[in-house]
Amino acid sequence: MRQVPCVGKAHDYYLAYTGPSQPALLEFNLPAGETYRAEVIDTWGMTVTPGEVYSGRVDIPMPGKAYYALILRRMKG
């Protein structure tokens, strides 16, 4: 599975950007005991698609197109 650049604030959010690569899945090892909601961002089409809720080690499906981003925001409460 191809790795892509990822930035964020630990235990708050993580943002991954595919650039010209076209992954069908992105792999994450999210912090234990924390839950995150995913959103897929089409950076050219300027759209955001809500995704599922994830925790632990996950493979998150992506559109398999270039120049997409994925944001994972921690769910609190």
What are the tens digits of pLDDT across the range 12-70? 999 999 999 999 999 999 999 999 999 999 999 999 999 999 999 999 999 999 999 99
pTM for the whole structure: 0.92
pLDDT of residue 74: 99
CATH fold of 6-74, please?
Answer: Immunoglobulin-like (2.60.40)
Q: What integer pLDDT is reported at residue 36 of this predicted model?
A: 98
| Backbone φ, ψ for residue 68 (5° rounding) | -110, 160
Contact 68, 40 (CB under 8 A): yes
State residue 2's pLDDT score.
57
